[in-house]
């Protein structure tokens, strides 16, 4: 963990809160010299001190550790348990409050998967038993497990052609990447909860058609349910896995976005038709996800903290997206159209026909602005990773670039 970065973040947020160093030291119960060493990156705070700093400064652990903090954020106490346990990679089962109920590592793993299956059945209408769940450190590691299990045609179609990392894994296992969904394929990779960078969600009718086609043409769907938690203007649409009755769909999910970026816990739910092959091969695979993080995550889910964190994060990011849209309207008025994505963190600016968006984006990048996409008359902005009180200033810079372009 970067001690220097953490110290700098504490100092920046403390000053923004208009707190003197002595005031913060008194509030968290340490002396001034100790806090000074923490802020300079000389010493790292104990877990208890770090928890107190987060409470007093009113930030989330993720925001404090990465520097991406928001004034309206609420501290989720239990996330700090993840941080604490992450420092002890070899934590034993004895650290669990319920450790006396488990006679082996296998019993503990089943308990974790049972809690996970309860959660995803409730939130995403997924149909599975605990033994169908495979845990791994990231989506790519799970795809390496999946590829050898498939006995169907070794051709895969990617609905999102920009997922190069995923394509590379399949190519490493001698799969052919199909250029069209109309080809004869063995697998169909799709992220229905975020179909585009802008956050388009696959409608229920299209989901049913895809599930029906997979059953008719005997191919497997790989449902990467990326960003399924962030649905701002509608209730979450049932997963493809749930709509299929648990057949013909491999379901992929991750917790990295909802907890800390350093938390690498993802999971894969295998359909019954792949389970026999997996059972024969599973002992050949090493567990890539941290045991400590799995323990903390299980308690996080069991005690209801994850569901609470999802609701709070959704509320915070919607507020940020609306604030960004408001800043755009304030600066540009009616000269542009603004749209907030259905899912994710994206806001779209649509300019008039006379604006060369690519030239504007190039000029704005030189001024320190970044964009996810600049095509046609559209700029795609993200509200994540930027303080909301900087939005209007950023839009003023963008407006100057537009004016200069229009004068040419």
3-state secondary structure string, 145-169? HHHHHCCCCCEEEECCCCCHHHHHH
Burial 17-40 (b: 16+ CB within 10 A, else e): eebeeeebbeebebeeebbebbbe
Which residues lie below 8 Å from residue 332, measured CB to CB, with a gap of 6+?
A: 349, 395, 399, 402
Distance (Å, rounded) from C-alpha 157 to C-alpha 134? 23
Mean pLDDT, range 8-15, rounded to an integer: 85
Tokens of 23: 């005031």
pLDDT for 344 equals: 58
Q: Which of 178, 174, 198, 196 is nearest to 186 (CA)?
A: 178
Q: Which of 227, 209, 271, 279 is nearest to 245 (CA)?
A: 271
Helix 79-86 with 47-57: angle, nearest 10 deg: 150
Q: Which of 273, 291, 276, 264 is nearest to 142 (CA)?
A: 264
Distances (CA, A) of 236 to 42, 71, 186, 233, 241: 46, 28, 28, 9, 14
Which residues lie below 8 Å from residue 14, measured CB to CB, with a gap of 6+?
A: 21, 24, 39, 57
pLDDT for 282 equals: 87
pLDDT for 143 equals: 94
pLDDT above 70 covers a percentage of the chain that reads 80
CA atoms within 13 A on the CB side of 117: 17
Answer yes or no: are the C-beta atoms of 269 and 136 closer than 8 Å. no
pLDDT for 67 equals: 55
pLDDT for 187 equals: 96
Phi, psi of 232 (to 5 degrees): -90, -35
Tokens of 97: 């409050």
Distances (CA, A) of 80 to 25, 46, 102: 20, 11, 25
What confidence tier does 235 reach under pLDDT thresholds 50, 70, 90?
low
148 pLDDT higher than 60: yes
Distance (Å, rounded) from C-alpha 158 to C-alpha 25? 53
Mean pLDDT, range 385-389, rounded to an integer: 75
Mean pLDDT, range 44-60, rounded to an integer: 80
Residue 246 DSSP symbol: T
Q: 44-48, 128-132, 195-199: which has the highest mean pLDDT?
A: 128-132
**Which class for 180: exposed (0-12), middle (13-18), buried (19 or more C-beta within 10 A)?**
exposed
pLDDT above 90 covers a percentage of the chain that reads 26
Answer yes or no: are the C-beta atoms of 127 and 121 closer than 8 Å. yes
Mean pLDDT, range 224-244, rounded to an integer: 74
Tokens 């990467």, located at residue:
224
What does the pLDDT look like over 20-38, one tens digit per residue? Answer: 999 999 999 999 999 998 9
What confidence tier does 176 reach under pLDDT thresholds 50, 70, 90?
very high
What is the rounded average pLDDT for all residues in the chain? 80
Higher pLDDT, 59 or 254: 254
CB atoms near residue 198 (< 10 Å): 19
């Amino acid at each position: 963990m970067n001690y220097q970065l953490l110290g700098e973040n504490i100092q920046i947020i403390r000053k923004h809160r208009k707190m003197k160093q002595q005031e913060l030291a008194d509030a968290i119960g340490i002396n001034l010299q100790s806090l000074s060493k923490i802020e300079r990156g000389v010493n790292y705070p104990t877990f208890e001190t770090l928890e107190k700093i987060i409470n007093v400064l009113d930030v989330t652990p993720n925001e404090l550790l990465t520097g991406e903090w928001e004034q309206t954020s609420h501290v989720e106490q239990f996330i700090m348990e993840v941080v604490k346990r992450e420092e002890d990679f070899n934590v034993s089962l004895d650290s669990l409050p319920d450790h006396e109920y488990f006679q082996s590592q296998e019993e503990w793993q089943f308990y974790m998967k049972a809690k996970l299956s309860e959660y995803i059945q409730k939130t995403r209408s997924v149909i599975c038993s605990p033994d169908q769940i495979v845990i791994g450190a990231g989506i790519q590691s799970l795809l390496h497990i999946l590829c050898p299990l498939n006995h169907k045609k070794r051709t895969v179609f990617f609905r999102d052609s920009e997922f190069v990392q995923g394509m590379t894994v399949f190519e490493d296992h001698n799969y052919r990447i199909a250029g069209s969904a109309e080809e004869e394929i063995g697998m169909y990779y799709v992220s229905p909860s975020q179909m585009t960078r802008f956050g388009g969600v696959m409608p229920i009718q299209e989901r049913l058609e895809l599930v029906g086609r997979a059953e008719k043409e005997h191919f497997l769907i790989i449902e990467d349910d990326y960003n399924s938690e962030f649905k701002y203007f509608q209730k979450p649409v049932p997963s493809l896995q749930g709509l299929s009755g648990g057949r013909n769909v491999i379901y992929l999910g991750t917790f990295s976005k909802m907890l800390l970026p350093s938390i690498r816990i993802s999971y894969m739910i295998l359909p019954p038709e792949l389970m026999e092959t997996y059972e024969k091969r599973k002992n050949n695979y090493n567990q890539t996800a941290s045991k400590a993080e799995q323990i903390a995550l299980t308690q996080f889910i069991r005690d209801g903290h994850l569901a609470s964190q999802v609701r709070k994060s959704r509320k915070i990011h919607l507020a940020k997206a609306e604030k960004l849209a408001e800043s755009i309207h304030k600066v540009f008025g009616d000269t542009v159209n603004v749209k907030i994505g259905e899912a994710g963190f994206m806001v779209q600016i649509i300019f008039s026909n006379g604006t060369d968006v690519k030239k504007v984006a190039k000029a704005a990048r030189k001024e320190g602005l970044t964009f996810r996409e600049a095509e046609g008359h559209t700029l795609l902005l993200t509200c994540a990773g930027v303080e909301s009180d900087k939005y209007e200033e950023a839009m003023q810079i963008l407006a100057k670039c537009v004016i200069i372009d229009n004068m040419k």
